[in-house]
């Protein structure tokens, strides 16, 4: 979702800020400078945190025209990791992500709207558990510039909250656990 997302998930991520020319970026998967994390209430008593370890994506970013920016992310749902093997197995089951039928989640942006200096709402279609729904990621530009290896990078973070039932995840975890927050952080390498 994400921006770059789930984006996730995802996500997704965000596209606002920086330099005055349009550019295409690949999410830095190899250097692991990107994260699609989530948190959900556990019975209303604490937070359960997790991450998706395998996702890939790209974005185009034009600081002079942020509304022309685009995001595309594909996420391997079986890569979910909550630091507890039995829970991860349950999350992969038909009760939640149903990874045997829906091994990937995708996010494709449909619009980007500036909301302030260095911030934007990224609207897009999130496909998760075989269901496609529009989501909005509140995104923030972190920074951009040359890296020590001769490349050029741009980084964003974003958040969105999903209702589990919207994506046919109907396992009853109680009223405190009906939504999950996605926290997306990406660094892209200009292509």
pLDDT digits (tens, 9 = 90+) for 35-90: 999 999 999 999 999 999 999 999 999 888 889 999 999 999 999 999 999 999 99
Q: What is the pLDDT of residue 14?
A: 35
Q: What is the pLDDT of residue 21?
A: 63
Name the nearest CA neighbour of 9 among 141, 100, 129.
129
For CA atoms 97, 100, 102, 105, give the dihedral sign: positive
Q: Is 86 helix (H, G, I), strand (E, B) or coil?
A: helix
CA–CA separation, 120 vs 78, rounded Å?
A: 30
Q: What is the pTM of this model?
A: 0.86
Q: What is the pLDDT of residue 51?
A: 98
CA–CA separation, 9 vs 3, rounded Å?
A: 8
| Average pLDDT of the residues in 120-132 | 98
Q: What is the pLDDT of residue 110?
A: 98
Confidence of residue 101 (pLDDT cuts 50, 70, 90): very high
pLDDT tens readout for residues 1-35 = 333 333 222 323 333 333 446 799 999 998 889 99
Q: What is the pLDDT of residue 85?
A: 98
Q: Is the pLDDT of residue 108 over 60?
A: yes
Q: Is the pLDDT of residue 92 over 80?
A: yes
CA–CA separation, 118 vs 122, rounded Å?
A: 13
| Average pLDDT of the residues in 184-190 | 97
pLDDT tens readout for residues 130-185 = 999 999 999 999 999 999 999 999 999 999 999 999 999 999 889 999 999 999 99
């Amino acid at each position: 979702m994400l921006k770059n997302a789930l984006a996730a998930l995802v996500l997704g991520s965000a596209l606002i800020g920086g330099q005055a020319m349009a550019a295409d970026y690949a999410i830095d998967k190899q250097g692991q400078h990107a994260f699609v994390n989530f948190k959900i209430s556990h019975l209303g008593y604490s937070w359960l945190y997790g991450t998706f370890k395998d996702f890939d994506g790209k974005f185009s970013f034009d600081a002079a025209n942020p509304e022309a920016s685009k995001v595309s992310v594909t996420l391997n749902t079986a890569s979910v990791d909550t630091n507890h093997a039995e829970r991860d197995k349950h999350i992969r089951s038909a009760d939640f992500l149903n990874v045997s039928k829906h091994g990937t989640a995708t996010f494709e942006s449909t619009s980007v709207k500036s909301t302030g200096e260095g911030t934007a709402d990224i609207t897009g279609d999130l496909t998760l558990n075989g269901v496609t729904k529009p989501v909005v990621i509140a995104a923030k530009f972190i920074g951009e510039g040359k890296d020590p290896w001769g490349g050029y990078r741009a980084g964003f973070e974003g958040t969105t909250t999903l209702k589990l039932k919207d994506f046919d995840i109907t396992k009853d975890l109680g009223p405190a656990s009906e939504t999950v927050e996605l926290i997306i952080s990406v660094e892209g390498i200009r292509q």
